[in-house]
Amino acid sequence: MPSLRRDQVGWLLAGAALTLAPHAGHLPPAISALCALLLVWRGLIAQRGSRLPPRTLLVVLAAGVVGSVLLEFHHFFGKEPGIALLAGLLSLKLLETDSLRDARAAVLLSLFMQLGQFLYQQDMAIAALALLGTLASIGTLLALQGRAEAVAPRALAALRLLLLALPLMLVLFLLFPRVQGPLWGLPADAYSAVSGLSDNMAPGDIARVSESAEIAFRAAFEGDPPPPAERYWRGPVLTRFDGRTWRPGPSRRHGQPFYRSSGPAYPYTLTLEPHNQHWLLALDFPGPAAGLAYGDDFRLLSREPVRSRLRLELVAHPATPVGLDENPRTLQEALKLPPGFNPRTRALGEQLRAAAGRADDIPALAIRHFRDSRLAYTLTPAPLGRDDVDSFLFDTRQGFCEHFAAAFVVTMRAAGVPARVVTGYQGGEINPVDGTLVVRQSDAHAWAEVWLATKGWLRVDPTAASAPRRIDGGLAAALPGSARLPLLARSDLPWLRALRDRMDAVNNRWNQWVLGYNPARQRELVASLGFGDTGWQSLIALMAGGCAVVMGGLTLWALRRVSTTDAIDRSWLRVCRRLAAAGHPRQAWEGPSNYASRLAREAPEAAAGLAPIAADYARLRYGPAPADAALLKRFHHSSRKFRPR
């Protein structure tokens, strides 16, 4: 097999680098550094014209890559170790690649690695990076099968091929039968990178979630959204407490809401990012929705973990009274406190119970006590002791929302009022570009629910007593200037917020119309085209027809390009026509040099001056390097002046 030219190696390295660069944020630093060193080494070999390393050394390096992956992950099965192993092997492959066959194998491996990017994210940035890597891979294939050429023309040729593929890609995207969910089983760690709330809560957990500016979900309301004080998006409901960690209690599922909705209705479309959990983070309290489940604790639940972006049409009724006929076992669970923990808070609860005229007054007395205690709202509270609620209420008096909610619920239970912690998100920010309500991880929040015999379950947010701006303006308003706030959540950088809003609006369009193109939307599109409600057989027939139309159009375009001659061919054909008119036609199998040689033997007078014209045409059409202007000018001038005798 022939050795690779320097430009071919350059394209291989560029394609591999553009493929591996997006993975650098997910790969272990040692693997990323090793891949970079191997690519640089291969580039130096090509530049200096040195020999490739011996096979023995490559085997040792391969063992080192395998060992590094095993040391980092302790196994080879799964998304993370699999991608890391492929990255190392791709870099090593280039160190043994000096033939067209191996080079094509490396290109195929690069294309496979570009698909691996979508196991982490599917946003527009990742799609653009994958497209750039694909462009480099196509340019590499062109370089492997053609002569040496400058980078810009080669890249333009690759881009032209990508553009030619767009119509076929569009047909396949629109008409290929959509399958809700993955086509194959993903590895167990495929969703390890998702962020969000956990199904339990300990001091500091929500504060860590709030340091992220990632989008948790979006909501597009048909009319005006509810006021900020009603924007509580329910997640895990935590009833059991062991002295430090809050966990969910027992809960049954219902196929329909088991409460009667009342009060103002807010219809909206929820676009939920994947978080690998069952809860749907709906606004209190959702009305009937097909295919969903309703928990005893008023959560809206999916029947399967949310592992891909989910779009739901919902209606919320925040003023609905709930829990008036609550199960006694649930109320007993909501009164339990672990023995031996937080004695001062227990004493506070007993004092409030003694001071209150009736049970309904106890929550308001507790809120007044929290406000009078001047508790500070902060992302960086002081360390707490074993009795963390006591330490927060009576010693440090600094905490985040989970400290406020946990302390309030413990106080309520000590006072004999059933209570529990609810975690989720509070607030959100209207994007002025597209009008959607964007809720980020920095909006993660914890609040309390208390049960009163005359009113059922009521939401009480003790954080609002100390930081009311958290409810009205979000985390940035409650903690202005905090260094731990996410950069994109800062309120003191208006230009950055404007840029973020525009990017979010564009990403939302991408999510809705590209990533959100599900079977229901496909059926709507096909129906709008006049084909009615079609099954997968009809979709395949439509797809085949669409592909046939596209391929037919491309074929006609290609045939037209073949039959259309350029200026060089037109000048040469003019010479051939004049010779044919003089009785010396060119045979179909004859090239320019053979034609000139034959006429020089058979009709030297008629062929006078033909040899230099044929030689110039051969250089212009088949030469190894681009023609210069002088040669081109001479050829056209000679062909016009040529007259056979």
3-state secondary structure 162-204: HHHHHHHHHHHHHHCCCCCCCCCCCCCCCCCCCCCCCCCECCC
The values of phi and psi at residue 255, to 5°, are -80, -20
Whether residue 285 is preceded by a cis peptide bond, meaning omega within 30 degrees of 0, is yes
Higher pLDDT, 511 or 416: 416
Instruction: Return the ∠ at Cα 162 (arms to 136 and 184), rounded to 5°.
Output: 85
Query: Does 491 have pLDDT greater than 80?
Result: no
Q: pLDDT: is 539 or 483 the higher one?
A: 539
Confidence of residue 244 (pLDDT cuts 50, 70, 90): confident
The residue among 16, 247, 23 whose CA lies nearest residue 116 is 23
What does the DSSP 8-state code read for residue 294?
E
Instruction: Give the pLDDT of residue 119.
Output: 80
Residue reference for tokens 């080079």: 103
d(Cα 170, Cα 636) in Å, to the nearest integer?
43
Give 196-262 as a DSSP string: S--SSB-TTHHHHHTT---EEEEEEESSPPPPGGG-EEEEEEEEEE-SS-EEE----EESS-SS---
Please compute the mean of the pLDDT values over residues 459-470 and round it to a whole number.
Answer: 85
Tokens 């990255």 belong to: 87
Asked which of 355-369, 377-391, 392-406, 559-573 is least confident by mean pLDDT, the reply is 559-573
Beta strands in 465-568 (DSSP E): none
- CA 471 distance to own-chain centroid: 30
* Residues near 148 by beta carbon (within 8 Å), at least 6 away in sequence: 5, 7, 624
Question: Which of the four pLDDT bands, split at 50, 70 and 90, describes residue 563?
Answer: very low
Average pLDDT over residues 526-533: 74
Are the C-beta atoms of residues 439 and 428 closer than 8 Å to each other? yes
Contact 370, 377 (CB under 8 A): no
pLDDT band at 645 (very low <50, low <70, confident <90, very high): confident
* CA–CA gap between residue 149 and residue 153 (Å, rounded): 7
Q: Which is more confident, 55 or 380?
A: 55
Rounded to the nearest angstrom, the gap between the alpha carbon of residue 627 and the centroid of all alpha carbons in its chain is 47
Percent of the chain exceeding pLDDT 90 equals 46
The 10 Å Cβ neighbour count of residue 400 is 28
Picking from 291, 218, 276, the residue whose alpha carbon sits closest to that of residue 511 is: 218
Active-site annotation, residues: 401, 445, 461
Tell me the backbone φ, ψ of residue 594, rounded to 5 degrees.
-65, -40
Tell me how many degrees the CA angle 153-158-162 measures, rounded to the nearest 5: 145
Q: Is the pLDDT of residue 285 over 50?
A: yes
Token pair of 220 as six digits: 């597009």
What's the CA gap between 323 and 327, in Å, rounded?
A: 8
The residue that leads in pLDDT, 380 or 634, is: 634
Q: What is the dihedral of CA 76, 77, 83, 86, to 10 degrees?
A: 50
Which one-letter DSSP state was computed for residue 378? Answer: -
d(CA 37, CA 620): 42
316 within 8 A of 285, measured Cβ to Cβ: yes
Structure tokens at 456: 């059922």
pLDDT in tens, 123-146: 788 888 899 999 999 999 999 987
Identify the DSSP state of 530. Answer: T
Residue 489: pLDDT over 60 = no
pLDDT surpassing 50 at residue 183: no
* CA distances, 114 to each of 21, 273, 274 (Å): 10, 22, 21
What region does 452 belong to: left with phi over 0, alpha with psi -120 to 50, or beta? beta
Q: Tell me what the mean pLDDT of segment 21-38 comes to.
A: 90
Show the tokens assigned to 635: 């050829």
Residue 315's DSSP bridge partners are 267
Q: How much of the chain exceeds pLDDT 70, in percent?
A: 90
pTM assigned to the model: 0.66
CB 253 within 8 A of CB 301: yes
Mean pLDDT score, 91-114: 92
Indicate the residue type of 603.
A
Residue 428: what pLDDT?
Answer: 87
Q: Which of the residue ranges 175-189, 310-324, 384-398 would you say has the lowest mean pLDDT?
A: 175-189
Range with lowest mean pLDDT among 241-250, 282-291, 516-525 = 516-525
